[in-house]
Chain A
């Protein structure tokens, strides 16, 4: 079966200002299945945001293609919703109008009442109800603004939802609440999500799969780590799960050491360049139908 989203050998080079070229990432390839929640982790400068912009259609790669649902991604589209780190709400519109702005763009044929009802429903799903929705973004806290932004994105049912460090500017407590809200709304919508973050715990809580990038320049997607913790997940309970620290340690090791070691390694010709799949599962092997599975195994897909 063809993957839902397929990113093939994406390369981005920028002029480095001294006449030469800087290769941010080279031959980055990965796939995302329908309904999957995929998080990409990596150090600053490895080009995560550039990949995000390419997926959104806001930037063009130097080479490589992105194919979504059988079609090549060219330019921005309503099929790919984006939640930006700085919320990107229109400050002259109220909260409700901001969400309606998106809904109207998606469904130009709807009546004003339909648009408003739909927007109100999605604002309620992220916990914004009552008077708050008639306030301007400047009158909302950072956390509330990001909820509006999430509601606007989900209300449009994009085929792919892109989250660019959506919680980066929020304090830890607010971040936790909104992560729960994101999980809640994602659980109801079966939305395919691709998200950037710097936060390992956030990644484990939210993701089905975590893509790990090596350091830039010439970064690539090196590993795809499956999160073998059943859903629904809860921030206080997942830390009790036997797999939690095993996965977390693997991620910390990668980001702390291996991302540097693997950096800048030239990709061999003919290599598929797909990330190495890593599955860590310490739960009782008796539960596993394919018994005798080693606790830690790396599989080249």
Chain B
């Protein structure tokens, strides 16, 4: 054991915890009796018919195998593969998120450059930011009139604030010395923005973008439960209505995995722009 590295030991411990956890879960679920083991009385009263219950991990794995081996099938509005559902959710998240980035980053840049603008906009940002994104939903549905676009709007409105605030904060905090370097080299405002301020503020901006994508992924599930039709959020709710708890547990896991991947992507980007002083 002494020869294992820190990471190896941690990985070993993780696997151990997973196995123990799954075993406890599996053991905690009472097995359902097979049809031939039922007594006459049980058969007559219907006590033996399949009851909905929390599925054991073995069933979830079987479900996952089944779903993941054919993720893109489409058998009508209420029966689509998990890949299609996640695809819809990612499409909505990315559309809303990119629109938010397109506005938040340039706007945050301008606010960060001017102390007056920073102070003038701050009260509005502080009031709008804590509003639960779903609270916008009725208004969005009424004004936009389209549920698909409303879901995207909700993503837009929830991911704009961390990006806006972090961009403004990052730009405002760029060291005076670096700006002076740009000034003594006669760089124009546009050139200064791109060659000095943007790289200097990039780690803070990326932090905001990473927070935003995390929030957007949290919100899309709830938004799709409301809006319905497609997407992973709708899928979870639909399977709950079908009392298919195995699918519910499976989709919960998938939400976690996709969220982790999105975060890891931004983590990678963040590492690329981070610099040591």
Contacts and interface: CB of A to CB of B under 8 A. Distances in A.
Interface stretch (A12-20, A41-49, A77-85, A110-118): A77-85
Interface stretch (B12-20, B52-60, B176-184, B217-225): B176-184
A283 interface: no
B36 interface: no
B186 A78 contact: yes
B195 interface: yes
A84 B277 contact: no
Contact of A90 (B183, B184, B196): B196
Secondary structure at the B interface, as helix, strand, loop or mixed, is helix
Contacts of A105: 185-187
Interface residues of A, number: 23
Given A58-B183, A76-B186, A138 B277 contact: yes
A81 B181 CA distance: 9
Contacts, number: 54
A58 B178 contact: no
A136 interface: yes
A102 interface: yes
A251 interface: no
A288 B186 CA distance: 47
B275 interface: yes
B276 interface: yes
B184 A58 contact: yes
B199 interface: yes
A101 interface: yes
B180 A90 contact: no
A84 B182 CA distance: 13
B199 A88 contact: no
Contacts of A138: 275-277
Contacts of A93: 199
A84 B180 contact: yes
Contact of A58 (B180, B196, B202): B180
25 contacts: A56-B180, A56-B184, A58-B184, A76-B180, A76-B184, A76-B186, A80-B184, A82-B180, A82-B184, A86-B177, A88-B178, A88-B180, A88-B181, A90-B181, A90-B196, A90-B200, A92-B199, A92-B200, A92-B202, A92-B275, A105-B186, A105-B187, A136-B276, A138-B275, A138-B277
Interface of B: 177-178, 180-181, 183-187, 195-196, 199-200, 202, 273, 275-277
